[in-house]
Amino acid sequence: MHGGLLKIFILFKQQLQLVQAQVHQQAVLQVVQARVHQQQVTTTTTTPFNSCKNLRWNQTGQIVAGTNSGSNANQLKNPSCLYIDNNNTLYICDYGNNRVQRWMQGGTNATTVAGSSTGSSGSTSILLNSPTDLTFDTNGFMYVVDNGNNRVQKFALGSINGTTVAGTIGSHSSALTDLDEPTAIDIDNNSNMYILDMGNTRLVKWAPNAIMGTLLISDNSLNNVYGMIRMPNSSNQVYMCDEGSDEIHVWAYGASSQNMSLQTVNDSQHNSLNNPTSMVLDPYGNLYVADTDNDRVVMYCVNSTVGIVVAEDNNSVPSLQKPVALAFDSDLNLYLVSTDSDQVVKLSRI
């Protein structure tokens, strides 16, 4: 009798221990799941990237194009613009050599993709005269502002034979069929061209295959404006670099005057722009200005009217003096064209 009770007691104790073990295991599992959930919540609530505070660049640059002034394949002469494609290939307006040079990453020599490789100027379809800007459309065609010939030339991939798509050869009147010393170009996804026609103090839009432009902005104060770029998230506003007033205009199409201007810089020595020449936007909508005569690059964060100095020449080697054009590669490394050294300098992102 007592033996039977003992067996029942032992069996009951074993079952109780098994139940306790299962309960403990379940509790541990719940704790682990709770911690995993907490980690997931923490990950999804991480503070967003603050581009204004966190985008910065090494102040010691690397020469990626040009040696000294000249017309050889490894040289530039008064370069005036820079475009970097999705493969991080550089396209440079070699203003003083009347050509556009394509520079591969790591290359020591460039290939001429528009104009004369020897620096000759002219007005035929295979020559240029003082190119000041270029861009590409979504189909891979290159558009070059041929300033000295008062026209815009379009080039197919692999061809050095350009087609005039804006302006009239041999004419530089104020008619909307003509351009007079055009300086800058931008293009939208429908291949509409936005051309800064400085000699006519206006901004015009040329549709594909159009024989004349449409007037967007006209004002006599725009007689010393070199750089232009369309504003992000806006269908009718542009930024324009005005070297005469040392400011960036924010201007709406059709308006008789600018909406606002950017000029102030948070710097104790030089608190305003001095001869701003060109601009570039980063993917976050921040604006960068080549502040040419202050030998620096100024960043205007989104919704800010006070600039931040993000690159500056301090007797730098290589030189950052007289920057006239800016561009970013796919890793947001910053490139600037220095007319002081006839070189393109890369500042690595840090």
Dihedral pair phi/psi, residue 136, rounded to 5°: -125, 150
Among 56, 109, 101, 96, smallest CA distance to 82 is for 101
- Among 43-57, 66-80, 82-96, whose mean pLDDT is lowest? 43-57
Q: What is the mean pLDDT of residues 322-346?
A: 98
Q: What is the mean pLDDT of residues 129-133?
A: 98
Which H or E run includes 10? helix 2-44
Q: What is the mean pLDDT of residues 33-50?
A: 55
Q: What is the mean pLDDT of residues 126-141?
A: 98
Q: Side-chain half-sphere of 99: how many Cα atoms within 13 Å?
A: 22
pLDDT of residue 20: 55
SS3 (DSSP) at 170: coil
SS3 (DSSP) at 18: helix
* CATH class, 55-347 region: mainly beta
pLDDT of residue 47: 76
pLDDT of residue 316: 81
pLDDT of residue 39: 41
Name the average pLDDT for the chain: 91
The rounded percent of the chain whose pLDDT value lies above 70 is 87
Q: What is the mean pLDDT of residues 144-163?
A: 98
CA separation for the pair 24, 20 (Å, rounded): 6
pLDDT of residue 35: 43
Domain extents in the chain: 55-347
| Residue 168 burial (CB count, 10 A) | 17
List pLDDT tens digits, range 245-288: 999 999 999 999 999 999 999 999 999 999 999 999 999 999 99
pLDDT of residue 28: 41
Q: What is the mean pLDDT of residues 192-204?
A: 98
In the 3-class helix/strand/coil scheme, how is 58-117 assigned residue by residue? CCCCEEEECCCECCCCCCECCCCEEEECCCCCEEEEEHHHCEEEEECCCCCCCEEEEECC
- Among 19-33, 73-87, 105-119, 181-195, whose mean pLDDT is lowest? 19-33
Among 140, 146, 184, smallest CA distance to 165 is for 146
pLDDT > 90? residue 18: no
Beta-carbon contacts of 159 under 8 Å, excluding residues fewer than 6 positions away, are: none
Work out the burial of residue 233: count CB atoms within 10 Å of its CB; fewer than 13 is exposed, 13-18 middle, 19 or more buried: exposed
pLDDT of residue 42: 42
pLDDT of residue 136: 98
Contact 129, 115 (CB under 8 A): no
pLDDT > 60? residue 12: no
pLDDT of residue 11: 55
- In which band, very low, low, confident or very high, does the pLDDT at 34 lie, cut at 50, 70 and 90? very low
pLDDT of residue 1: 46
CA separation for the pair 170, 180 (Å, rounded): 11
For residue 276, give the amino acid letter. Answer: P
Q: How many residues does the chain have?
A: 350
